[in-house]
Amino acid sequence: MAVRTASRFDRIVQTGLIAAFMALIALPFLGLALRLDERGLEEKRILAPPPALDLRHFSATHFTGQLQAYLTDHFGFRSTLVRWNARITAQTLAVPLSPRVMFGKDGWLFLADEDIIKDYRCLQPFTETELRQWAGLLERRRDWLKQRGCHYLFFVAPNQHTIYSEELPAYITRVRDTSRLDQLLAYLKAHSTVTVVDVRPALLAAKGRERVYQKTDTHWNERGAFAAYQEILKLIQGWFPGLQAVPRNRFQDTAMTGPGGDLAAMMGLTDLYPEEVLGLRPLDPRRAEMTNWPLDRLKALKDHPSTVEESGIPGSHLPRLVMFHDSFGTALKPFLAEHFARALFEFQAMAFDESILEREKPDLVIQEITERYMWVDFTDPNRQLTPE
């Protein structure tokens, strides 16, 4: 029986398949070596560094573990492959790739971290001891400032879930009506004289006119920040009668479509879930100009924040402000800065840097914290929240 000899065409096809297979195998290593896919993903973590080769203390197990972690995080074309997987999963299965994100109604995305869901559902209320500790912490800060002739104002920026609860998935339900924020505000009203402003009613009222939070991001937009700013100005007018909030009609509404916010970025799908950013443009020139502190000055602080910004209106007789805030304070700062001769904004949740306060000698300190961080035990000096 004659054996069929492979034709030249067959050999070319086989050689081509082998070459294509070898190229496919080599492609990730080529991408890693040449850094061909460095767009990166918003993973909210530090990627593994290259393994360190220390011959004096070499451990094969430790080195191979470092190498594996590095290759896992920097695998050639990893970002592209993750995006493809996220897109397919989201579009075909309607399931977000990131466990930290959940799909809401009408294109809304929400943070799905366990603590924020427990908080929204009111599954883990404050104990009486925890409420006393919170009140004690705020009162100690208030009293320290009062001895120096300074006012203290505390407020909580509500979660997206709190203001737009109707957009949450139907399976996210509350087991009781009183949230941790409700508890804390009620306790402070009944047992403390710390000045607190509840910005939720203003946000809910503004929400009836316009969207005040971003749909693909955990934060409020400029219009939501403006509603909170107006409430803050109403309260501090009792301390500083000359301060008047800028009227809403002195701003022009703006809207522009851009990449999705932090929730879309967690899935690697900022293009698939764009954000219509609703903003405000002042009709009058801003008097205060924001300036970032350089890194060497930041490192000199006891608790190194991610940013410190300062602003001022030279020659004015306005009061001085220090504000400790988290990421919700970012959109609020430009509105507040217009009312102070000097304002310093430290990005460090629940910070209270006495050295800065002694040097700045403010007339007012504003402390802002996001509702989702209220489960953090700030009364424990060993627990600090990392800036976002």
Cα–Cα distance, 345 to 350 (Å, whole number): 12
Token pair in block for residue 376: 């953090």
Token pair in block for residue 152: 């203290």
Q: pLDDT band at residue 64, thresholds of 50, 70 and 90? A: confident
Closest CA relative to residue 166, chosen from 104, 237, 240: 104
Closest CA relative to residue 168, chosen from 204, 203, 215: 215
Q: pLDDT band at residue 384, thresholds of 50, 70 and 90? A: very low
Closest CA relative to residue 180, chosen from 139, 107, 131, 133: 131
Token pair in block for residue 82: 């993750």
Does residue 214 carry a pLDDT above 90? yes
Does residue 62 carry a pLDDT above 70? no
For position 374, what pLDDT does the model report? 84
SS3 for 234-282 is HHHCCCCCCCCCCCHHHEEEEEEEECCCHHHHHCCCCCCCCEEEEEEEE
For position 370, what pLDDT does the model report? 96
> At which residue do the structure tokens 């530090």 appear?
46
> At which residue do the structure tokens 């999963």 appear?
89
pLDDT digits (tens, 9 = 90+) for 264-292: 988 888 888 999 999 999 999 999 988 88
Does residue 366 carry a pLDDT above 60? yes
16-25, 40-49, 300-309, 360-369: least confidently modelled range: 40-49
* Enclosing H/E stretch for 2: none
Token pair in block for residue 270: 């900022």
Token pair in block for residue 230: 């107006």
Average pLDDT over residues 73-84: 57
pLDDT digits (tens, 9 = 90+) for 84-104: 555 555 555 455 667 889 999
Average pLDDT over the chain, rounded to an integer: 84
Assess contact for 189 and 210: CB atoms under 8 A: no
Cα–Cα distance, 101 to 65 (Å, whole number): 30
For position 19, what pLDDT does the model report? 72
Assess contact for 322 and 360: CB atoms under 8 A: yes
From residue 269, how far is each of 40, 214, 346 by CA, in Å? 12, 16, 31
pLDDT digits (tens, 9 = 90+) for 119-133: 999 999 999 999 999
Does residue 48 carry a pLDDT above 90? no
pLDDT digits (tens, 9 = 90+) for 253-264: 999 999 999 999
Point out which residues pair with 280 in neighbouring strands: 253
Paired sense of beta strands 320-325 and 151-157, if any:
unpaired
From residue 44, how far is each of 171, 222, 387 by CA, in Å? 27, 23, 11
* Enclosing H/E stretch for 370: strand 364-370
pLDDT digits (tens, 9 = 90+) for 113-165: 988 999 999 999 999 999 999 999 999 999 999 999 999 999 999 999 999 99
SS3 for 18-58 is HHHHHHHHHHHHHHHHHCCCCCCCCCCCCCCCCCCCCHHHC
Does residue 217 carry a pLDDT above 90? yes
Q: pLDDT band at residue 47, thresholds of 50, 70 and 90? A: low
Point out which residues pair with 324 in neighbouring strands: 346, 367
Q: pLDDT band at residue 388, thresholds of 50, 70 and 90? A: very low
Does residue 379 carry a pLDDT above 70? no
> At which residue do the structure tokens 């995006």 appear?
83
* More reliable by pLDDT, 169 or 29: 169
For position 385, what pLDDT does the model report? 43
| Domains of the chain by residue range | 60-92, 101-373
Q: pLDDT band at residue 240, thresholds of 50, 70 and 90? A: very high
* Enclosing H/E stretch for 239: none
Cα–Cα distance, 130 to 134 (Å, whole number): 6
**Percent of the chain, pLDDT > 90?**
58
Q: Which amino acid is at 11?
A: R
Does residue 252 carry a pLDDT above 70? yes
Residue 280, burial from CB neighbour count under 10 angstroms (0-12, 13-18, 19+): buried
For position 294, what pLDDT does the model report? 81
For position 210, what pLDDT does the model report? 97
Assess contact for 168 and 217: CB atoms under 8 A: no
In this prediction the pTM is 0.77
Point out which residues pair with 256 in neighbouring strands: 277
For position 24, what pLDDT does the model report? 65
Cα–Cα distance, 365 to 308 (Å, whole number): 15
DSSP-assigned letter for residue 338: T
* Enclosing H/E stretch for 382: none
DSSP-assigned letter for residue 380: S
* More reliable by pLDDT, 10 or 249: 249
Token pair in block for residue 162: 């709190």
Average pLDDT over residues 338-356: 92
Paired sense of beta strands 364-370 and 308-312, if any:
unpaired
Cα–Cα distance, 100 to 266 (Å, whole number): 8
* Enclosing H/E stretch for 337: helix 333-337
Does residue 301 carry a pLDDT above 80? no
Cα–Cα distance, 160 to 219 (Å, whole number): 7
* More reliable by pLDDT, 330 or 31: 330
Q: pLDDT band at residue 169, thresholds of 50, 70 and 90? A: very high
